[in-house]
Structure formats: C-alpha cells, structure tokens
A and B are shown apart, each in its own frame.
Chain A
C-alpha cells in the first residue's frame, strides 16, 4: 500500500491503522485546531484514526482491513463536504 505516496507494508488481516502504526508512531491527522492525533482505541470507538483511504475521507483505519494497493493518506484539518483535501 502507499501512505502519503510512500510504500508501506501490511500482513494479511492487519487493519490499516495497525499498518500505519507499524510504519511510524506519528500523527494520523490533525484536528480543526491543527493538533496532531493518532489512533487511540483501535476498536472503532474513538474515531481518532480517521484516514483518507482510496479517495474516501474520514474512514476509520482501525475498522478497515488492509488490502493490496490501497492508497492511504493522512488528513490535515477537517474534510470538506465533497471529501476533497484542503490543499
């Protein structure tokens, strides 16, 4: 898979959030107030691990099983209604 364009690896069955954490402990996203956040509960409760996965914004990385060729992006700030990034 790729994370922000760089290749990362996952084992079969890993969630996307686990794969991103295995790659680095850095933030998954920033909030509306630009504070960094990373996966917190890993069981679908806290919504801290929101990522853009295959073009879809605000996907819970901990509830999504990693698949070959996935395109994963960290989210900076809030998403717009059409799902576009802020840049």
Chain B
C-alpha cells in the first residue's frame, strides 16, 4: 500500500493486485469495513487509515480478489479474478506478499477447533467473531496482541500456554540494548503482558509435549507439559502460534535467489537495501522479504517505490537517496527489536521437527514418520521427499509443510535445499487456463 501510493505520487501508473477482498493486508485487514469501530483491535490498527486512504488516487487501479499465479521475466504478471485469468505487463513489479503463520504440527492439530491464532484475529477483524474460552498456545508478540485484543473485547482466553522458557528470555536479553531503540514497541509489549496478568488469565510457560484430542462432547482436550507437570485443559478452541514467516511462493516461482535465515528460522529472498532482487525489474518489500512487521513493511515499500522511480528516470540518484533518509531511519528503528523477538520467541524443536504419526502435510495427510521413512529409503532433499510421499502436492502447495519437511530432513542429517515453487502458485481451473488467450493482455 505504501509503495503503491508513493509510486503514484511520483507520477507512475500503478496496478495493485490484492488477493484479499478489501485493502489492508492482514494487519489492517478490513479497515474500511470496520470504519473505526471495534476499539478492542487497538490504537495501532488505526494506522491503517492513512495507508488505505493513500490508495484512493487516480493513478492507482485497485483490483481485489485478484490472485497472481505466475510471474514471467520481462514482468508479465498472470492473475486470476472471478474465474478469469488475465495477463498484465509492466516494466517493474513489486511483490508485497507479506507473511503467513509458521506451521505448528503437533498430534491433533488437524482437528476442527484447532486453528492458528492469526485466524482468530482475522475473524475478529472480518466478522466481529470473538473466540470464547479459547486456549492461546505457542509464542511470539502476536500471541500477546491477540490475547490483549480478546481481553478488551470481553472474551479473555481461558489460558495462555507459552512455549518460550526463562532460558530463551535470558538468552535473548543480550539483544535488549539494541531493542531499546524501539522502546515504544517494548513498552507496548510489556503493557500487553500486564493486561493479561491483570485480567487473571492463567499463564503456563516453557510448555512442550502438546497433544489435542476430541472429547465426547465435541470439545478439545489439550495436554502439555509445563513446570515438570502434565496439564490438561478442556476448551472449544485451541489457537496455536509460533511466529510468522515470509510468504515466498511467488518469489521462489519467479526464480529469485533465496536463502535460509537461521535467526528467523525461515527462507527468504535475497534483496538489496531497496528491495531489489537478482531478477531484473522485480522488487520485494515487507515481510515477504524477511520478517520485520508492519512499520518496517511500510518503510520498505516506500524505499522500493523510490528505487523504481529512480530506475524509470523519474528521480535522480541524489533525490532518491535524499528522500530515502526518512524511511531508512523508520526501517532501522522498526528492525531494532527483531533480534530480541527472534531469540526470545524462537520456535520450539518439537513443532519444527515432529515425530511419529503427527501429520506434517495436512493436504495429503502425510505423517512425520512417512517423511523419515522416505529419507531412510533414499530421498535426499525436499523434491525427492515430495516425489516419494506427495507431501506438498496438495492445494496449499507446501505452504503448510515446507518448513516441517526441512526440519525433519535436517534432524535426519540430510541437506535441506530451498524447496521449489512452481506456477501456478495458486490452483487454477483447467478451463480458466484454456481460456487464457494472448488477446486478453491488458
């Protein structure tokens, strides 16, 4: 959103293809729909107004429900909307695909009633649906934010089951001096934790050994170990979260070089300070280029737009660098807290390297043991595991299992290469492909 309005202000015509029904991404989801109601979503949510309003200019054409499923060199973008695919061309393309929640495989995570924590937040933003007596489990700043929003909405969680331990927090404390640059964010976080304590929400930390089963009455029974005891909570809804990871299907399918970020435990594209990639004409901004959060994404979008304006001779190098000072400072401040957050709320091993009959690939119902068996039978990398087991071949195309397959392969001593993503990166009906004619280019 920030990149589109910056580019338009610089005199460019912009086509904005947004897969969601309305502007706002996930953070500012349905901002216009809520129109300032739902105060429980918090003050930060209101920052969405400027971003959404900034799109309402003549040079920006907004298309919603538009799924980009292929990107070709020379920047031909193939996208689907209402069952019709179209091709658009542009000298520059900016990917801003954001993040998804890290998959959290544990026994029972496919049961109805187990959802990602972010899903509950989407339901609050989209439909005003409040989770009742839900157990929030996992770790990360988003977990605290969602707990605080639930409390303010009058639907506090039944319990907060946190996977981070005192040890991980102490280990992370060496990053605190740098994080002090982002003091307002730290203070906001501490405020959320205080709110959770004040609301009397039971908290369990250092939790592991998660198992969910269905009870006779249709509720869920969630067991876990915390403080050397096994605990069981009965709840209609388990909301699990282990942080977010970049959405890289589009960038990987476009041929951009990707690397493993061992601090954030995720794959990410290699980009320069402007978001530029090794594919000509292709920039990436926001969480899709590495997790930084909403403020970092806005700054990165502005930087990418400045660089694109420069490449198109709308802005001299000096002017670009001059105007970049503000967003660069914003970006530095927003990123200052990441090393602390990444270390304090790192994913726990059992959720990145599950064992036994825990489902890894939800679409094709492939277990952790099946992945290990495939490796023992000679499957070396993610591609061979996919061929041997079908893990990653379902409609989500590996979004829910790529990272887990990697975790298992690493634990087996195998080399984990970056998994491939191929177009169409979203399912497209054969009839729609057949109807895609060159005459539809626009």
Partner pick for B363 among A10, A15, A39, A47, CB 8 A cutoff: A47
Is A46 touching B365 in the complex (CB atoms < 8 A)? Answer: no
Is A45 touching B100 in the complex (CB atoms < 8 A)? Answer: yes
A17 to B396, CA, bound (A): 17
Is A63 touching B20 in the complex (CB atoms < 8 A)? Answer: yes
CB closest chain-A residue, reference B113: A25
- In the complex, 6 of the A-B residue pairs with CB atoms within 8 angstroms, ordered by the A residue number, are A14-B126, A25-B237, A38-B112, A42-B116, A43-B100, A48-B362
Indicate whether A50 sits within 8 Å of B395 (C-beta atoms), given known contacts A41-B118, A63-B20, A63-B21. yes
Residues of B within 8 A of A45 (CB): 100-101, 247, 396, 399-400
Is A41 touching B19 in the complex (CB atoms < 8 A)? Answer: no
A58 to B83, CA, bound (A): 13
Additional 6 contacts, C-beta under 8 A, given A35-B365, A45-B247 = A11-B127, A42-B116, A42-B119, A43-B122, A44-B20, A63-B65
A45 to B129, CA, bound (A): 20
Q: Using CB atoms and an 8 Å cutoff, list the residues of chain A in contact with chain B.
A: 10-11, 13-15, 18-19, 21-22, 25-28, 31-33, 35-48, 50, 58, 62-63, 65
Indicate whether A43 sits within 8 Å of B26 (C-beta atoms), given known contacts A13-B126, A18-B123, A37-B110. yes
* CB within 8 Å of A: which B4-25 residues: 19-22
CB closest chain-A residue, reference B116: A41
Is B115 touching A42 in the complex (CB atoms < 8 A)? Answer: yes
A24 to B384, CA, bound (A): 40
A75 to B30, CA, bound (A): 28
CB closest chain-A residue, reference B101: A41
Is B395 touching A41 in the complex (CB atoms < 8 A)? Answer: no
Count B-side interface residues using an 8 Å CB cutoff. 38
Residues of B within 8 A of A43 (CB): 20, 26, 100, 118-119, 122
Is A40 touching B365 in the complex (CB atoms < 8 A)? Answer: no
Q: Would you give the 0/1 interface string for B358-377, flagging 1 where the beta carbon is closer than 8 Å to chain A?
A: 00001101000000000000
Residues of A within 8 A of B107 (CB): none
Residues of A within 8 A of B19 (CB): 44, 63
Is A18 touching B129 in the complex (CB atoms < 8 A)? Answer: yes
Is A42 touching B122 in the complex (CB atoms < 8 A)? Answer: yes
| Most central of A19, A32, A38, A44 by chain B CB within 10 Å | A44
Q: Would you give the 0/1 interface string for B241-262, flagging 1 where the beta carbon is closer than 8 Å to chain A?
A: 0000001000000000000000
Tell me how far the C-beta of A30 lies from the nearest C-beta in chain B, rounded to whole angstroms: 10
Residues of A within 8 A of B22 (CB): 13
Partner pick for A21 among B101, B123, B128, CB 8 A cutoff: B123
Residues of B within 8 A of A38 (CB): 112-113, 115
Residues of B within 8 A of A65 (CB): 21, 65
Indicate whether A15 sits within 8 Å of B119 (C-beta atoms), given known contacts A47-B363, A48-B362. no
CB closest chain-B residue, reference A26: B112
A13 to B395, CA, bound (A): 25
